């Protein structure tokens, strides 16, 4: 058994070989006895305190139990679509540790009684597709497994939108029936992020006490985070929950004078430089700052880049990625994007920032899905942390930093 207090866990052996022999040399085989006992598997996950790593942090054992309790043929969906533009953690797992993800699928399938599984990845992620196929050639699986390539869009990874895609529809969220009731082909379906399943594979090997040996009481275990921006060593890191944010930034070679840090990705929250000293990467500490780890993105803003121009680019992205199903998303995000652009270019009226603040509050919990909520959260935190820059832009237009190259990564935008 590996040392309970040692990191890395998920990333142990990364960069050496992703072959099955190398995987077994690092992690060992799955315990056969636990694989046969469904109730004990769910109990192990429950006692570990594992929560989902796709952004919502829903208790994993509750999802397992909900699917296990249903009648009929069940399906496992391993969600590795990773629509968050600044995130790379899921593709690192799929490319470098595919067997750990496949182990997690095996365990989850045994826990809920599923015979079929699907790994959903981005249609542009050729390396993950190749790594998964190579891994499947090396091992037998207790489930029939398919690799599904989803379109490159933010909403493709949303749980119900992904189910719609798998059923031959569009990447649009649906409402009412949950996947555990009727999902893929109207069968009870477990949708879990690939990192969550990789943790399940290790918990099945080492148990809940091992998992809880690091992290905090409310957030046990470790997490993968993608660090980018004004750091010398951008990439994917594995951290214990509760790690100090400044410690992580120092490890990644963050610039000495950071202006702000985005925590949780584009649906996340900016933290001002003055807030970083008290920030630990746990739900309790981050919630006091109005933030959450979400999809595990940490993006540092240094001397380069205009915060208002960056906010405008992301607001445009949110508006363009709308599913077009509800007014708050179609009209609200479009109005926010247009107004932020006007502020950025100095063409807004004097009440523009007050309208943005009001709309960012009014949009929340009014959309058909959480897309407008995340967009509103991002813009609201930008208005708070970069208030002086918004004020200067509203009065004087573009600043010197506006000429800098874009900082936050954004895919090519569809028309809106």
H-assigned helices in 328-370:
333-345, 352-362
CA distance 91 to 328: 32
- The mean pLDDT of the chain is 93
Q: Tell me whether the omega of the peptide bond preceding residue 72 falls within 30 degrees of 0, making it cis.
A: no
Query: What pLDDT does residue 149 have?
Result: 98
CA-nearest of 232, 270, 266, 268 to 251 is: 232
Question: Two tokens at 253?
Answer: 């070679």
Label residues 111-127 b or e (16+ Cβ within 10 Å = b). bbebebbbbbbbeebee
Model confidence pLDDT, tens digit, residues 250-263: 999 999 889 999 99
What angle in degrees, to the nearest 10, is found between the helix axes of 307-320 and 333-345?
150
Residue 367 has pLDDT above 50, yes or no: yes
What is the average per-residue pLDDT within 33-43? Answer: 75
Q: What is the 3-state secondary structure (H, E, C) of 79-129?
A: EECCCCCCCCHHHHHHHHCHHHHHHHHHHHHHHHCEEEEEEEEECCCHHHH
Model confidence pLDDT, tens digit, residues 195-243: 999 999 999 999 999 999 999 999 999 999 999 999 999 999 999 999 9
Hey, which residues does 239 pair with through a beta bridge?
223
Using pLDDT thresholds of 50, 70 and 90, give the confidence band for residue 154.
Answer: confident
Strand, helix or coil for residue 224: strand
Q: Which of 141-145, 179-183, 283-287, 374-378 has the lowest mean pLDDT?
A: 374-378
What is the average per-residue pLDDT within 333-339? Answer: 93
Model confidence pLDDT, tens digit, residues 1-23: 457 779 999 999 999 999 999 99
Angle subtended at Cα 113 by Cα 70 and Cα 177, rounded to the nearest 5 degrees: 35
Using pLDDT thresholds of 50, 70 and 90, give the confidence band for residue 135.
Answer: very high
Query: What pLDDT does residue 336 have?
Result: 94
What is the average per-residue pLDDT within 21-46? Answer: 86
Using pLDDT thresholds of 50, 70 and 90, give the confidence band for residue 368.
Answer: low
């Amino acid at each position: 058994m590996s040392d309970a207090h040692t990191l890395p866990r998920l990333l142990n052996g990364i960069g050496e070989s992703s072959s099955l022999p190398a995987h077994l040399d690092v992690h060992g085989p799955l315990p056969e006895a636990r694989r046969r006992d469904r109730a004990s598997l769910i109990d192990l996950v429950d006692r570990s305190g594992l929560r989902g790593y796709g952004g919502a942090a829903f208790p994993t054992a509750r999802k397992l139990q909900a699917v296990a309790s249903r009648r009929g043929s069940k399906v496992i969906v391993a969600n590795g679509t990773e629509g968050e533009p600044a995130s790379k953690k899921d593709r690192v797992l799929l490319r470098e540790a595919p067997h750990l993800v496949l182990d997690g699928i095996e365990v989850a399938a045994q826990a809920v009684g599923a015979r079929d599984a699907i790994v959903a990845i981005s249609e542009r992620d050729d390396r993950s597709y190749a790594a998964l196929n190579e891994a499947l050639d090396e091992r037998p699986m207790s489930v029939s497994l398919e690799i599904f390539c989803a379109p490159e869009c933010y909403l493709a990874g949303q749980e119900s939108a992904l189910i719609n895609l798998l059923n031959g529809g569009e990447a649009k969220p649906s409402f009412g029936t949950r996947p555990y009731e009727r999902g893929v082909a109207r069968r009870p379906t477990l949708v879990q992020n690939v990192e969550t399943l990789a943790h399940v594979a290790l918990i099945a090997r080492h148990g809940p006490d091992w998992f809880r040996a690091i992290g905090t009481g409310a957030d046990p275990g470790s997490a993968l985070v993608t660090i980018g921006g004004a750091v010398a060593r951008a990439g994917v890191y594995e951290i214990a929950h509760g790690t100090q944010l400044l410690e992580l930034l120092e490890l990644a070679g963050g610039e000495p004078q950071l202006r702000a840090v985005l925590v949780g990705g584009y649906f996340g929250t900016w933290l001002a430089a003055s807030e970083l000293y008290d920030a630990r990467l746990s739900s309790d500490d981050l919630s006091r700052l109005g933030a959450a780890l979400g999809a595990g993105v940490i993006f540092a803003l240094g001397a380069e880049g205009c915060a208002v121009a960056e906010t405008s680019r992301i607001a445009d992205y949110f508006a363009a990625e709308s599913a077009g199903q509800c007014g708050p998303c179609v009209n609200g995000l479009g109005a926010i994007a247009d107004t932020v652009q006007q502020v950025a270019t100095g063409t807004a009226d004097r009440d523009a920032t007050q309208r943005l603040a009001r709309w960012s509050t009014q949009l929340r919990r009014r959309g058909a899905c959480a897309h407008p909520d995340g967009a509103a959260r991002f813009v609201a935190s930008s208005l708070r942390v970069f208030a002086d820059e918004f004020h200067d832009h509203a009065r004087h237009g573009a600043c010197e930093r506006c000429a800098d190259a874009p900082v936050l990564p954004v895919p090519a935008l569809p028309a809106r």
